[in-house]
Amino acid sequence: MDTCEELMKYLAAYGDGELTEELADRVGRHLEVCERCREEYAGLAAVTALYRESAPPAVPAADWERVSTALETSMSEVREPRAQVRERVEGRRFLTWRLFPAAALAAAVLLVALFVVLPTGRAPAEAYFAEVDDIETGPDYEYIVRLPASDDDFLVIDVVSVE
């Protein structure tokens, strides 16, 4: 026979219909014979019922309209910046390649250095130039690659206009 202490913690879940069939049967049988647990069960159920029956005050239509408008504004703000960002990135890319080829070249050299040369160990400066020469950059710029002096040092790429 189950004791009150064993089943007390299940009373609320029993009322919620959240127990397994086997456990619900045990609690149900216990409630039939135990007045103390019936009172406990009724008290817990009354709390839930009180909150459910005392719904919060209704919201006037004008207040919902205000919330709805704010959401609409927010949705517009979310979508538009995404489009704007795309345009800005494209614009910056255009400017970068057209007006600042030196910077673009530096980035290209860095990529070559990092992904082609450095993984094979420190290479002579000529190796960098050999790789960089494969990139079509136009005749107006020179680049100087300085190897890092130590493992803690940086690879430096200077790009200089010759115009």
Partner 1 sequence: MAADGAPEERTTDEELVTKALAGERDAFRELFERYRSRAYRVAYRFLGTREDSLDVVQEAFIKAYRGLEGFERRAKFRTWLMRIVTNTCLDLRRRGRANSATTSLTDEIIQMTPQESQPHRREETALDKMAYGELQQALSRALDELSDAHRTVFVLHTEEGMTYREIAESLGISEGTVMSRLYHARKRLQKILSNAGVL
Q: Does 55 bind partner 1 (CB under 8 A)?
A: yes
Q: Does 43 bind partner 1 (CB under 8 A)?
A: yes
Instruction: Choose, by CB under 8 A, the member of 66, 92, 93, 122 that binds partner 1.
Output: 66
Total interface residues for partner 1 by CB under 8 A = 34
Q: Does 75 bind partner 1 (CB under 8 A)?
A: yes
Q: Which is nearer to partner 1, 57 or 139 (CB)?
A: 57
- Neighbour count for residue 154 (Cβ, 10 Å): 9
Structure tokens at 120: 């094979």
Give the nearest distance from C-beta 38 to partner 1 in angstroms. Answer: 15
User: Please, what is the end-to-end C-alpha distance for the chain in angstroms?
Assistant: 99
Give the nearest distance from C-beta 23 to partner 1 in angstroms. Answer: 11
Candidates 130, 98, 123; CA nearest to 143 is 130
Candidates 145, 144, 142; CA nearest to 155 is 145
The rounded distance, in Å, linking the Cα atoms of 11 and 17 is 10
Give the nearest distance from C-beta 40 to partner 1 in angstroms. Answer: 9
The set of residues, in sequence order, having a beta carbon less than 8 Å from that of 36 and lying 6+ positions away, is 4
The rounded distance, in Å, linking the Cα atoms of 155 and 116 is 14
Cβ-contact 97, 83 below 8 angstroms: no
Binding pattern for the stretch 14-33 against partner 1, x by CB under 8 A and - elsewhere: --x-x---------------
Q: Which is nearer to partner 1, 39 or 134 (CB)?
A: 39
Residues that bind partner 1 (CB under 8 A): 9-13, 16, 18, 43-44, 46-48, 50-60, 63-64, 66-68, 70-71, 74-75, 78-79
